[in-house]
Structure 1
Amino acid sequence: MDFGEFVMARTPALLRFAYLLTGDSHLAEDLIQEALVRVHRRWSSIEYQGGPEPYVRKAILNQYLSWRRRRSSAELVLAELPERRDPALGAEQIVERDEMWSLLATLPRAQRAVVVLRYYEDLADQDIALLLDCSPATVRVHAFKALKRLRAALTPTAVAGASHGRA
């Protein structure tokens, strides 16, 4: 598969992945664009284990983790738009989803990446560790800390009671 075919076929999935990391559709497009520019330069020399997608996802993840926001005058042209919210969703579900996105945005980048890779991309700790260049134990620590932080934010009364008991 050449680069153009890959981009046309996999852009919607890559956009969803980048959106889950950034929480913003415009930033996701920028992130994908920058990562694909870097991958394109090396496309002919990249050796794929299981196809090129794991390599591209790792490039997107690395770009996200080390990203220094730059303004770009070029835009990524898409054949298809990313999935939109289902208008049939109730207002309560939309509020809950919005609250979760807000909470995810408060996590440090590495913790957010682990949560996205584990719960949205359904990857095992071993696979996440390979993507993040760390040990599976580090992945579990990031997940533990992220979930603890999310739970604390979702149950403010429990946190307030626990903080009064500690000095």
Structure 2
Amino acid sequence: MNFGHTMHSYYANKSQSVNNSNYTIMVAEVASTVNEIILAENILKKEKNIEKRKKIIAELIGTITSTLVRQSMFAEFERKIHDRIFKEIPTVYTDVTKEYEELLKKYFANITIDEKHKYEWLRIPHFYSPYYVYKYATGISSAIYIARNILNKKEGYLEKYIKMLKTGGRLRKFRYT
């Protein structure tokens, strides 16, 4: 469990009963990423070593790339495959691999992609839970927005965020605006 999830679990477990402390995947991803962004920003404010600063920035870029870009691609891939099935288009392994390869080229057009990556879809366990991966891309988008407002000390954002963390599994609808 990383720092982001740890703080979320701490607040939810402290504020809710055992039955209400478990939160949804969507809320978990938002909270985790907000916490990681805030931690990274605070470390960057204090860190003087340029190499350490580069590493933190590279990790943030990697998180955005893997979570926003790749998970968006995964969600599009999942939708395309489900569309084929719903339309009763015969679909075999080679069709699925071709769809995935086309999306790799679309999303990473300026990067040389190793031939074996077109088979990557076979090893991604999230595809066994339908409509799961979009939550990562949506979650990081929300998290960046929330973290930016907390870091810029926008009135009420930190308080609302902590309230969200404390809500645990009781959260059904939460508005930041």
For the pair shown, the structure with the greater C-alpha radius of gyration is 2
The structure richer in helix per residue is: 2
Q: With CA pairs under 8 Å and 6+ residues apart, which has the higher RCO, 1 or 2?
A: 2
TM-score with structure 1 length normalisation?
Answer: 0.25
